[in-house]
Amino acid sequence: MEQIKVEKLLVNYKTLEKFKRFKEYGNQELAMIDDLQNNIIENDSKSPFYGIYYGDNLIARMSLYEVDRKYDNYFAPPQKFLTLWKLEVLPDYQGKGYGKALVEFAKGFQLPIKTNPRINSHGFWEKMGFLKAHYEMERDLGENPLIWLPKGVKEKATNS
């Protein structure tokens, strides 16, 4: 099997055109087009977007945001963590390891990760080592976040 390469996506109009392909597949709830448009300044701006290309086609993508420790209500002691948001693989490429490659890439930063999975995706996240968070932040509004912990990091206990 070929080596899967995750790349930081440039914040530019060319990437915006590639993102439109995802929206055409009916995944408007995951469309990052608005996110990208809001971040377009220049190619060298700091991008939260990562993706995998198959040839010239962007086939998988995610947003990965670093969150400062002052907003951490998940881990003990409070620390900086990543929010993995909007992981998506085009239908023709699903089940081929591309989603897993994106998650493994995120884990490579060795920071705790929080995600809010889509409906029917819990099995994927469990295989990737994510667990249900016991301590929910008010702003998650019952979205049932899942977390992944690198070795040596402890989750905060529930306040009950």
Q: Which domain holds residue 112?
A: 6-155
Dump the DSSP string for 62-81.
Answer: EEEEEE-GGG--SEES---E
pLDDT at 56: 87
What's the residue count for the chain?
Answer: 160
Q: Please check whether residue 1 lies inside any domain of the structure.
A: no
Q: Please check whether residue 160 lies inside any domain of the structure.
A: no
Instruction: Report which of 109, 114, 23, 26 is spatially closest to residue 61, judged by C-alpha positions.
Output: 23
pLDDT at 62: 92
**CATH code at position 142:** 3.40.630.30
pLDDT at 71: 86
Determine the Cα–Cα distance for residues 101 and 152; give it in Å rounded to an integer: 23
pLDDT at 25: 52
Q: Please check whether residue 64 lies inside any domain of the structure.
A: yes
The count of structural domains within the chain is 1
Write out the two tokens for 126: 């469990």
| pLDDT average per 10 residues of sequence, the chain (160 residues) | 81 70 53 51 65 92 91 83 90 94 96 87 91 63 78 62
pLDDT at 78: 86
Q: Please check whether residue 116 lies inside any domain of the structure.
A: yes
Peptide bond into 117 cis (omega under 30): no
pLDDT at 38: 55
